[in-house]
Amino acid sequence: MGANGHPPASTVAQNGSHSGGGGGGGGGVNPSNGGTGAALRHDPGLAREWSTEEQTILDELLVKYASDLPVVRYAKVAMKLPEKTVRDVALRCRWMNKKESAKRKKEDHNSSKKSKDKKEKVSDSSSKPPVHMVGRPNVPPYPLPVLPMDDDEISSKAIGGPTGEILETNAHVLGQISSNLSNMQIQDNISLLCQTRDNILRVLKEINDAPDIMKQMPPLPVKINEELVNSLLPRPTVPMQ
């Protein structure tokens, strides 16, 4: 998701053919519906439009398949919506969750303003670098910021299951790698990089072994540079794909 709240252009390219080709998915919204029609056209980067009928079906099926893992639930819903892909359903659900979250934040804004002011005062008083950092000129006074991941992806918690746990572990490991870089503890990152690589290979293996219904997801846009990785790290415990 880009800085302006819309997914990147690549998402438009991936979804445009699904939503515009059939014609049926976009025609269900009546412009005379006013706010409802505008809400269903929530983001041009996803499926171009969701008709009122499609939204109703989505709401009903999300309740029906609530006990399934999120990715399986999205796949089952997509099978009932001819004009939508698994990705369309997943991103629509993600947008719905973000919209609801934004609504709650707006409602809580006034009540949390005083608390925010207090936190800012505390932050000002603690802005000095820690004592153990003083006298170490080669170390930045503050940890280097972790680069944000592509917000167009589904979170590891939403994926759930063993795959979600592996991705959640990788997120923590990458955070530790960033912390080690800030503290010039480069050597400590070798084992962490090996762990990250092996976890990625496990996820790829699970994807390859997934049932046919799950293979409707688009292929991953990037691959591990095996030659570079093998030249820097010990051999993986999981076979390369």
CB of 152 within 8 A of CB of 221?
A: no
Q: Give the pLDDT confidence score for residue 147 in this predicted structure.
A: 46
Residues of the chain where predicted confidence (pLDDT) is lower than 70: 1-48, 110-111, 114, 117-119, 121-160, 210-222, 237-241
Q: Give the pLDDT confidence score for residue 31 in this predicted structure.
A: 41
Q: Give the pLDDT confidence score for residue 161 in this predicted structure.
A: 74
What is the rounded distance in angstroms from the CA atom of residue 210 to the CA atom of residue 225? 23
- Vertex 170: Cα angle to 164 and 174 (nearest 5): 150
Q: Give the pLDDT confidence score for residue 155 in this predicted structure.
A: 62
pTM of the predicted protein model: 0.34
CB of 95 within 8 A of CB of 103?
A: no
Which residues are CB-neighbours of 213 under 8 A, at least 6 positions away?
72, 75, 76, 79
Q: Give the pLDDT confidence score for residue 178 in this predicted structure.
A: 86
Q: Give the pLDDT confidence score for residue 182 in this predicted structure.
A: 83
Q: Give the pLDDT confidence score for residue 238 in this predicted structure.
A: 63
Q: What is the pLDDT of residues 23-64, one digit of tens each?
A: 444 444 444 444 444 444 444 445 568 999 999 999 999 999
Q: Give the pLDDT confidence score for residue 159 in this predicted structure.
A: 66
Determine phi and psi for 156, rounding to 5 degrees.
-65, -35
Q: Give the pLDDT confidence score for residue 221 in this predicted structure.
A: 65
Q: Give the pLDDT confidence score for residue 39 in this predicted structure.
A: 46
